[in-house]
Structure 1
């Protein structure tokens, strides 16, 4: 017993004994610690890859899965399987392997602080501007795999890309007639304009940066706006717009000279720029901040649209005498009534997919006089043309960069022209500005001579209710190309189409005996001979107003696919 008591009391070699006894336990805990640290780093790596995959996928939602798979492959995730859906962790891969799974969902993300974070991304909603990527894989245990199964590691990330485009609906002046433009713009602005054709040519060729225009407006008018929206809230006159354009760089000397003439003209009615331009989310940016896509805008279009908008209060009628400016006509007078523009739909927008632009409802009465043959028919033949134009619409459908780079930029805009009704008739001129009802129409008084009175009526409708997709490439956008949607209802001359449906009636000395064939042929011949001049007048007037009969002209002024950012 003594040796045993001595051994128990002996303290020599106790550390070695304790080490030998505790080493297995310490090694086991060390193994678990190494595994835990390894799993933590693996989770971080997986989350990092999920973030990168979401950013890449959001830059091209139409090919989101392919973009995400490419990122995973580049980061060493081989043999990836695409998950079929669901949010739970799968029990195993379909083939029982350790291959990682990826689940990619596209949808719409709304950056609204009033919406709970978990509800801002809606799977499958349109427009698709965001992508959620979820990666599920088996974690790696270096030591503990013998004691417990390897856990699933899951990482999810949501990225959003705000693709935007600046576009407008209307028509760029394909042909310019200085006299007609002067008369019509004088009527719109309530002033007397005397611009030459060279002045209009210079303005039509001048495209300015929208950013430069807004910054010039803020500086020139001494505005203290903190955002672009505050600049757009500022009421301006046509003269203010012209003065602002004068201070924008890059304009030719002839364009500046023309703007100088316009700066002192124009009505005193002020219109907020917001009714003309909408910047969407970019409106919250501080002035001088670059706008997405760096949109350009035409100087003549901007001035014309502002003049048009200033007159578009639903109660104002514009009258312009432009007969002397049209060869082949004795006289021509235009009466124009413009309805209120649709609420929330300005002429020009810079907004994400789904945005609309619309033209205002317009009524136009063009009264022309043609030289008569004399005799019973007298020396004048009158032709009143009444036009009603419903609003044309354009909708931004898609902005994409298929390769992820700006050179592959593509924009799709769908458009449809407004329904148009053309008549040879005499409408109630006092009711033109009342857009709540149709004006009364009477047969047109074509000839009013002492012994002969000739009346007539004709009606042609133009409609195309279908949306037509227009595709713009990067080259189209840089060239500010105009693309057109038109109806096939009328394929030739507008006036000829009306004259072919014209029904004439004559009253000779109050007898009402009908129109002799000789007089009928004479009147028809006079009207047909004046068709080219009347057609030219209609085209110029409508183009100046930014509308085209039976057509919708769309232009993309700038676009960007946006920069993908993580949002969840």
Structure 2
């Protein structure tokens, strides 16, 4: 039997080596292809993330207003943002499959708490946030087809990349009191009424207070809150400071920047408030929504802030402050007495550091009240002498006329319309603002009661003057003539239409610590002619009172009480033997009296005009005009906030 023979030696081992080499080559090729596929996946995901970052950064410039050239800035709609992002993807994209996969969302940036989903302290986009601060772009694309056809591949699978970006572009301004002529006495009375004590500062003191800027950081420090808590209703409700503590806190917060004279004045004012009612201050009434952005930038002057704090503390449920008597001493012919009051119906509100299209401020809504007694005896006697044979037959008595004037100054408003951010092509930093001036409603009528108590003007028909004529001491006849004002008269001064202001483009950069957000302070006059700037026309009340007085309708009869308006009492012994109602008759007979009374009142109108204009100016109330002061702008580069992919369905 023959057996096959096997080769022995090196030649016999060559075939086994080839098999192992072939298997190793296949394994190496597979590993190389897997490595290439993994690299392709990594590069595809990296490029997708880069594209999401670029699209989000570009969109954040649009949302912040830095990429908008027109004023006023309006937040772009969903369609406009979607189109903008798709164009960015098309310009920088990796294929047309990305164009229909861009999801664009805007919202507020918030931080996670300990009880929230996700790592505590990380920032995320709250899509339902009230204030749009950032934009999130989410892109999807199919996975690259693997190089090895034998590997499983699902065409429906997509890779996802997301980026949330925001750009800081905010500004602060205030619609100030525009104190045209500081009057120590009047402002002392105003602050005394708001603080609840006796304030006695000089005009120099008030100028010093008005020259000090207060930042959000200083205000927050003064009331023991974080800056972002100034717009948190819960924080303000649980930590509302007392008025004296807020003022004393300002003294401490400003100790490093304001002079010792100013901090000393604040200490004195805090002591005045502590000795008064010392009411809590609802800060939410004067500070809009704020955050810690550029908190060191001043947003209001100290005097305006003090008045706003006092007004907010003293406001009732309707937001009004009780009338505060002003020290007006007049000795004018025809005026028996004059009492003036100011009533803050709504405190001023300051913009804080806000975005264009969001930042807004309004002045205080104020009512100036004048309550006067006018001596009408001489004019009435002259008219009645025609009926009494030169006064030989009788004696005339006429008490002073009660006249009230209410000047209700509605709030003026101002808006930050656009911030021009510095760019490589144009490094100019600028701000566009607009404002509408305050409008005044002037009401003239009569009142009942003591003028020193600031009684309300009587609505409807009311007695204006009561005249008593006694013939031969009243033994023959006693005539009572009541003159009635048919209704109060009103007029309006000013135009409420918004007016664009001149662009403010002179700013000085403030050096900050490393890592802090940069901000620029707006230069003021004389460095720039447009800060502050006033819109509207002043002096709109000139002659207003005289016009109102001439439109008053005076009658001798009371249609509601025809038998009691005016009467003649004949043959008075103990009681009136015969009483004859003569109101309708006197309407015709007393035309000379009414005419002369109208002349008297027209003259009083000029006197009241002379009272009101200086008072309004001294209080910083500008009818028909508004003074806007730009404070600061903070602009940063667009930044990626998060690359977290939103949860499915969010």
State the TM-score, normalized to the length of structure 1: 0.69
Q: How many Å separate the matches in 2 of 1:438 and 1:519?
A: 20
Q: Do the aligned partners of 1:204 and 1:300 also contact (CA within 8 Å) in 2?
A: yes
Cα 1:326/1:203, change in 2 over 3 Å: farther
Cα 1:316/1:133, change in 2 over 3 Å: closer
Q: Do the aligned partners of 1:447 and 1:454 also contact (CA within 8 Å) in 2?
A: yes
| Structure 1 vs Structure 2 CA RMSD | 5.7
For residue 634 of structure 2, the aligned residue among 560, 563, 567 is 560
Tell me the equivalent position of 1:159.
Answer: 165
SS in 1 for 2:106: strand
Q: How many Å separate the matches in 2 of 1:41 and 1:373?
A: 99
Q: How many Å separate the matches in 2 of 1:236 and 1:51?
A: 44
Q: How many Å separate the matches in 2 of 1:441 and 1:539?
A: 31
Deviations 1:447-466 (A, max 9, x none): 99999999876421246565
Cα 1:298/1:34, change in 2 over 3 Å: same
Q: CA deviation at 1:291?
A: 4.6
* Structure-to-structure mapping, 1:52-451, within 5 angstroms: 52-55=54-57, 57-61=59-63, 62=65, 83=86, 93=96, 105=104, 107-109=106-108, 111=110, 120-121=126-127, 128-133=132-137, 155-161=161-167, 163-169=169-175, 171-218=177-224, 230=235, 233-247=238-252, 248=254, 249-266=256-273, 267-278=276-287, 280=289, 282=291, 291-292=294-295, 294-313=297-316, 314=318, 317-324=322-329, 332-339=338-345, 347=350, 349-351=352-354, 354=358, 357=361, 362-367=366-371, 384-394=404-414, 401=421, 403=423, 410=430, 415-416=435-436, 420-427=440-447, 440=459
Q: How many Å separate the matches in 2 of 1:236 and 1:198?
A: 29
Cα 1:21/1:306, change in 2 over 3 Å: closer
Deviations 1:42-101 (A, max 9, x none): 4224414532552354244346699xxxxxxxxxxxxxx9746999xx99649xxxx999
Q: Do the aligned partners of 2:192 and 2:198 also contact (CA within 8 Å) in 1?
A: yes
Tell me the equivalent position of 2:648.
Answer: none
Moved more, 319-328 or 447-456: 447-456
Q: How many Å separate the matches in 2 of 1:231 and 1:406?
A: 42
Deviations 1:218-250 (A, max 9, x none): 4xxxx9999666578544444434433333132
Tell me the equivalent position of 2:549.
Answer: 502
Q: How many Å separate the matches in 2 of 1:372 and 1:251?
A: 54
For residue 12 of structure 2, the aligned residue among 10, 26, 31 is 10
Tell me the equivalent position of 2:623.
Answer: 549
Q: How many Å separate the matches in 2 of 1:565 and 1:464?
A: 45
Moved more, 410-419 or 113-122: 113-122
Tell me the equivalent position of 2:52.
Answer: 50
Q: How many Å separate the matches in 2 of 1:348 and 1:276?
A: 12
SS in 2 for 1:172: coil
2:616 is equivalent to residue 531 of structure 1:
no
Q: How many Å separate the matches in 1 of 2:166 and 2:615?
A: 49
Q: CA deviation at 1:564?
A: 3.1
Q: How many Å separate the matches in 1 of 2:7 and 2:203?
A: 123
Q: Where does the alignment leave 5 or more consecutive residues of structure 2 unmatched? A: 70-83, 119-123, 383-397, 471-480, 508-520, 525-530, 557-565, 567-585, 645-650
Q: CA deviation at 1:34?
A: 1.9
The aligned length equals: 524
Q: How many Å separate the matches in 1 of 2:626 and 2:374?
A: 31
Q: How many Å separate the matches in 2 of 1:404 and 1:501?
A: 59
Moved more, 445-454 or 263-272: 445-454
Cα 1:445/1:421, change in 2 over 3 Å: same
Q: How many Å separate the matches in 2 of 1:192 and 1:51?
A: 61
Q: How many Å separate the matches in 1 of 2:38 and 2:200?
A: 83
Q: CA deviation at 1:206?
A: 1.9
Q: CA deviation at 1:320?
A: 1.2
Cα 1:438/1:497, change in 2 over 3 Å: closer
Q: How many Å separate the matches in 1 of 2:25 and 2:68?
A: 50
Q: Do the aligned partners of 1:399 and 1:412 also contact (CA within 8 Å) in 2?
A: yes
Moved more, 514-523 or 262-271: 514-523
Q: Where does the alignment leave 5 or more consecutive residues of structure 1 unmatched? A: 67-80
Q: Do the aligned partners of 2:323 and 2:341 also contact (CA within 8 Å) in 1?
A: yes
Q: Do the aligned partners of 2:437 and 2:494 also contact (CA within 8 Å) in 1?
A: yes
Q: CA deviation at 1:422?
A: 0.5
State the TM-score, normalized to the length of structure 2: 0.62
Q: How many Å separate the matches in 2 of 1:39 and 1:432?
A: 85
Q: How many Å separate the matches in 1 of 2:452 and 2:107?
A: 44
Q: How many Å separate the matches in 1 of 2:269 and 2:289?
A: 29
Q: How many Å separate the matches in 2 of 1:119 and 1:207?
A: 34
SS in 2 for 1:184: helix
Cα 1:560/1:404, change in 2 over 3 Å: farther
